[in-house]
A and B are shown apart, each in its own frame.
Chain A
Amino acid sequence: MSKEPILFKHLAVPDINKLGVYVENGGYEGLRKAVTDMKPEDVTKEVSDSGLRGRGGAGFPTGRKWSFIPKGVLPTYLVVNADESEPGAFKDRELMERNPHQLLEGVALSAYAIGCRLAFIYVRGEFLYIQEILDAALAEAYAGGYLGKNIFGSGYDIEIVVHRGAGAYICGEESALLDSLEGYRGFPRLRPPFPAVKGLYGQPTVINNVETLANVPHIVRHGSAWFRSYGTEKSPGTKICSISGPVQKPGNYELEMGTPFRVLLEEKAGGMLPGKTLKAYIPGGASAPMLPNRPEFIDVPITYEDYPAVGSTMGSASFILIPEDVCIIYAQLRISEFFAHESCGKCIPCREGTPWLMKTVRRIERGEGREDDLPLLLDICDNILGRSFCALGDFSTSNIVASIKYFYDEYEEHIRRRACPHISATAAVA
């Protein structure tokens, strides 16, 4: 990246996870400025003006989300969605693990903007060590007076509670996350009412992703114009991209929005491993439609707007690479297994449809596919897409449709030959 990174700027600073080091590097300056100098609505305005959009995948304008909170209905809650469970996504983990105070400062700032005095960070069940890191940072920040009662003598109190989930993909869906946080089993809630009106414990609630909130201290400190100097008109700022698969250097890279995927693949990740050729890649985690290795798909700028233009989505910018020697049906089976396993069971299309997709793909992979299985798969997808209670049902269809679209021949070959041409993969499925 030509410009200085925003979120990963201090990644290399030793002990940046310690309060003192974080403060030496300008940490909590944004928070001090906000609570002593700015009104809450000024913070919201700055974030609105910055054009910051939700980094969890949906890309909803953050400032606008905050503005939905009705005035005078107290208490309000801020909930951080740190239930990072999309296959291929591991950016929030690194943000929390390496620089926890950056998130905590963002949480406190955002809470201040919406009049919230008790915020929750909902971390995924498997992130025990992340919870420990956050709790340690919280303890330091409380002790240092950066969080807690009357911070910076402003009269503003902010308490942050880290809550660990129990390991369900559905709890990353914001309303199911609220159920889970309240102690119930996570099921998505009927909308309206929207969480901004009736959310956690029936009160106005904002739910934001970790990466989204980590941006807020920088926006407040440096201003919205500075933030807009990064990225594109519709996608200002940077994006942490997770890249996994047979590349030289898999991992997280912070890129300016609008950087082509080719830069991520070839420069940042160092290209494919020797002997591996890219067959296809998924740009935004398991829920984003895969794209085959064609120049027009490799040169897509990483933005909210450019991926939909080529029939996919940037989502959380979690790039999963599938090499030539991996059977696409096998890869799809793994994805379909995930969605069938993680369906919450609330609505019929997702509950019944995702296992049906999985079983049908598995049959094809095992060489038991039937001629009409491909139109069947597409029609099942059609009966789930837009019919399910929440977006997770829709997500289960995107790669079925994409893999059949781009790799029809491979499916057909499985059915015709009554076997998977990739021997090793078949063995794994049996």
Chain B
Amino acid sequence: MDDLVNITVDGLKMQVPKGTLLWEACQAHGIDIPIFCYHTKLGPVGACRTCLVEVEGMTKGPITACSTPVTDGMVVRTRSPIAQKAQRGILEFLLLNHPLDCPICDRGGECPLQDQTFAYGPGSSRYVEPKRHHVKPIVLGPTIALDRERCVLCWRCVRFTAEIAEDKSIVLLDRGDHTVVGTFQDEPYVSNFSGNVVELCPVGALTARKQRFNFRPWELQNRPSICPHCAFGCNINISVRKNDEVIRFLSRDNPEVDDSWLCDRGRFDFEFINSPQRLTAPLVRDGDAFLEVSWTEAFELISNRLRSILDESGAHALAGIAAARMTNEGLHVFKRFMRDVVGTGLVDHTPRPNLRLTPGQQQAFARLGRNLMPIAGLDDARTILLLGADPSEREPVMELRIRQAVNRHGAQLVIANPEEITLSPKASHAASYETGGLAAFIRSLTSALRRGPQGSNNDDSASALVRTYLAEGPIAVIYDASFPGTLDKGDAVLALDDFVEALRARAAVGTLPLLDAANSMGARDLDILPPDGWSSSVIDALLGPDSQVRAAILAGADLAAGAGEETLRRLNQLDLLVVQELFMTETARLADVVLPAASFAEQIGTFTNSERRVQRLHEAVPAPGVARADWEILVDLSQHFDNALPYAGARQIWDDIRRTVPAYAPVAFDSIGPRGVRIEETQVLESA
């Protein structure tokens, strides 16, 4: 192939794509070259000079591997005396003013400066001058602290804020060896993505204020998982101490999803897992108090009371609502328990779009849910159209993917929103409509599309938008499946479906919905909905004035939180309220039986993200006390009924999901690797 070039590195002949950076080529072939400023997600800056290598024919001394594209016939030596001397020299410079406070440094033990000094650096220092000192730590903002003495000025944080998050908050101040990292005029560094700079920092200069001096890296084990905070499905590593304490979340690069970035909510909001307030044993109401009981006692009590209610009033006297943050396995068992064990169809999930769709609207909504594009496909989009959708609020890391698609791949961003959103300044075109006017706005685009080439010459704004931005694909349409601010959501569904169909007649189109919770897509795919689908809500059936419901199982569904008196009264009135929860929530306080559930970090299972990628959860830490996974609780409870559920583990449940949800059929549990498996559009279509 002519786009490959031959190079020789340390005697090893390799073929690499033309234009590859030398460092990347070496890395791909297992040849390590020390770096500080270079980072694969940020591109070269050439500032630290640590990656100096010898190249045959070089005229001005060794060259930086991080910023030099390979050329055919290049002969490189990374460990020759010249290269070693250069690398050692740079590391000596780096350590001149470094405080060497490794014993108390958060990075000690996982520090590139330590590791690279060990591997490539000088054994001793020749520096006898006093070291440079700075006031420390500097509080950069609410989340981040800065130690300027440890900083090696690699520009990674500066480049992250300039190129990735684009808030340009972190800058270099002063000159020469007075240069320091800081913020313009000491304004606080406030960002939804601040935690990323801690991970990017190759030394212990930037630390998370919540986590400083809390751990030694070598105490920690990293266990792969998925962020539970939104439907985007960012991959994480959970750092665990002594097998039972969650210390931090780190990013786990999945180029298909997060591209190594996390938002601050995802990164920092994990304390709930370790909380001493977690429920650790089943509780049964005793007057105004709760008594700890065994699982068996709890299950017997539930089954006896439930049976008598069902015998008296029929299966429709029981309703069940599950949290959309539960695993696919938990949701599936929940559905099986409700429908097959006790025989009620009154199941639903929460949070969910508050839709009341007619049959026709339901079909349109289902069609929209089928034509999903991959998140990484944003990079290929010519136009990204945000229709009433604000990714920064709902799925923050999508904001970074969109910025990247615009900056590196030349996508045009078109934003239609009644209000300014975070991404608005990034838009090639921003269209506004009156609050509640989404459907009308979409229809104006559809008519412009349908008018065809002549009609779209009209000089109204919709025609101009269509002409300028929607003439050629691929077009990514991102919408918020909750249609916030829209009163007639069903009408918006119809308008959107019609628009996508009209667009598809002209260009390649992909859609992505913004959803509510980590497994909202799973809850939809597994049909955790009332028998009439999106046309009603079990919450209404449960809480409505004419409710026939006498018993409810609420799995992670905190309906009482912030609710009005009427809701509390209804929940109080229930003859049996069973709550599966992590905490004694407002709803749990009203329950007759409270069952302690395991968090996402304490169980094996899967989430399906908003691009329909199935990703694996692992048991990072044990659940507190006798708490169990949601599915396990319901399987055990089912043993007290006639149609006991047969599942012994998540794998077995997954296989049952594959049997009942055709779209998931091709995905074997063991095929779900570290980057998950995205269920392609065609598979969904076939199952429809």
Contacts and interface: CB of A to CB of B under 8 A. Distances in A.
Contact of B129 (A343, A349, A356): A356
Contacts of A355: 176-177
Contact of A343 (B61, B89, B97, B176): B176
B175 A343 contact: yes
Listed residue (A351, A356, A363) with the most chain B CB atoms within 10 angstroms of its CB: A351
A85 interface: no
Nearest to B180: A345
A343 to B, nearest CB: 4
A185 B46 CA distance: 17
B88 to A, nearest CB: 8
Given A185-B172, A383-B93, A389-B49, A352 B177 contact: yes
Contacts of A385: 61
Contact of B90 (A344, A346, A349, A376): A349
A199 B428 CA distance: 25
Given A190-B44, A345-B153, A347-B49, A383 B175 contact: no
B645 interface: no
Contacts of A331: none
Given A352-B93, A389-B46, A389-B49, A383 B86 contact: yes
Interface string A384-411: 0111110000000000000000000000
Nearest to A376: B126
B52 interface: yes
Contacts of A347: 46-49
A340 B176 contact: yes
B460 interface: no
A345 B178 contact: yes
B89 to A, nearest CB: 3
Nearest to B126: A376
B92 interface: yes
A190 B67 contact: yes
A388 B47 CA distance: 8
Contacts of B127: 356
A385 B49 CA distance: 12
A42 interface: no
Contact of B172 (A341, A343, A345): A345
A115 to B, nearest CB: 26
B172 A383 contact: no
Listed residue (B126, B152, B179) with the most chain A CB atoms within 10 angstroms of its CB: B126
A31 B610 CA distance: 65
Contacts of A372: 126
B60 interface: yes
B94 A348 contact: yes
Interface string B171-202: 01011111100000000000000000000000
Interface string A348-388: 11011111100110010000001010001000001101111
Nearest to B52: A387
A190 B46 contact: yes
Interface residues of B, number: 34
B539 interface: no
Contacts of A354: 176-177
A345 B90 contact: no
Contact of B93 (A185, A349, A382, A389): A349
Contacts of B153: 345, 348, 351
B62 interface: yes
B42 interface: no
B541 interface: no
A377 to B, nearest CB: 11
A370 B127 CA distance: 12
B49 A386 contact: no
Contact of A345 (B49, B60, B96, B179): B179
Q: Is the interface of B mostly helix, strand, loop or mixed?
A: loop
B310 interface: no
Nearest to B93: A352
Contacts of A382: 85, 89
Given A345-B153, A348-B47, A356-B129, A387 B90 contact: yes
Contact of B177 (A343, A370, A387): A343
Contacts of B97: 352
Given A359-B129, A376-B126, A352 B94 contact: yes
B393 to A, nearest CB: 32
Given A387-B61, A387-B62, A388-B49, A345 B175 contact: yes
Nearest to B177: A355
B177 to A, nearest CB: 5
Interface in B84-122: 85-86, 89-90, 92-94, 96-97
A168 interface: yes
A385 B97 CA distance: 20
B474 to A, nearest CB: 27
Contact of A383 (B45, B46, B92, B178): B92
Contacts of A342: 175-176
Nearest to A393: B49
Listed residue (A168, A348, A355, A370) with the most chain B CB atoms within 10 angstroms of its CB: A348
Nearest to A340: B176
Nearest to A385: B61
Contacts of A349: 49, 89-90, 93
B324 to A, nearest CB: 46
A105 B577 CA distance: 91
Nearest to B127: A356
A386 B60 contact: yes
A210 to B, nearest CB: 25
B175 A387 contact: no
Contacts of B62: 386-387
B96 A352 contact: yes
Nearest to A344: B175
A386 B93 contact: no
A344 B179 CA distance: 8
Listed residue (A168, A352, A359, A370) with the most chain B CB atoms within 10 angstroms of its CB: A352
Interface of A: 168, 185, 190, 340-349, 351-356, 359-360, 363, 370, 372, 376, 382-383, 385-389
Pairs of residues from A and B, 10 with the lowest C-beta to C-beta distance, nearest first: A386-B61, A383-B89, A345-B179, A352-B93, A343-B176, A359-B129, A355-B177, A345-B176, A348-B93, A190-B46
Given A347-B47, A370-B128, A383-B89, 7 more contacts: A343-B177, A344-B176, A348-B50, A351-B93, A351-B177, A387-B49, A389-B49
23 contacts: A190-B45, A190-B67, A343-B175, A345-B174, A345-B176, A348-B47, A348-B50, A348-B94, A349-B49, A349-B89, A351-B153, A353-B93, A354-B176, A355-B177, A356-B96, A356-B127, A359-B129, A370-B128, A376-B126, A383-B89, A383-B92, A387-B61, A389-B47
